Amino acid sequence: MRIPGEAKPLIILDATIDGRGPHPFAVGTGAGGTLIAPELVDELGLIGGQPVKCAGCAGVMEGRIAPRSVPVSVGSGSTISIQPLILDMFDMLSRDGGEKIVGLIGHDVLSRHILTIDSPGNRLRLP
């Protein structure tokens, strides 16, 4: 896990999605589901999907529910199959976080683990 700066205290970790990666994802403890950037769509073969309107920290946005489930794993944790939301909001998070971020791990993954955040030790544990 990394906390790249004090201006926007994001927790960033590496996640593998559909066997590809690792990719830098932010941890979204308030996000209902896992989000991915449109740039991963081609790589993951997630063309299409159902359009949806969503609201969150960036306001109301247009997104798409991925057309199929994909396996996601964080660190050495177990793999969970999820159907992510494709949302174009990661330029803002990348700018604020000081590092390129291509996804956000949300409630659908976090709720299946006990999440321990050790900020001074720069460790995140998802047993």
pLDDT digits (tens, 9 = 90+) for 78-96: 789 999 999 988 887 766 6
pLDDT at 89: 84
Q: What is the CA radius of gyration of the chain?
A: 14
pLDDT classification of 127: cutoffs 50, 70, 90:
low
Nearest CA-CA partner of 31 in 3, 66, 58: 58
What CA–CA distance (Å, rounded) separates 88 from 92?
Answer: 9
95 forms beta bridges with none
User: Rounded to a whole number, what is the largest CA-CA distance in the chain?
Assistant: 42
Question: Across the chain, what does the average pLDDT equal?
Answer: 83
Domains of the chain: 12-125 (2.40.70.10)
The alpha carbon dihedral of 52, 39, 35, 65 has a sign of positive
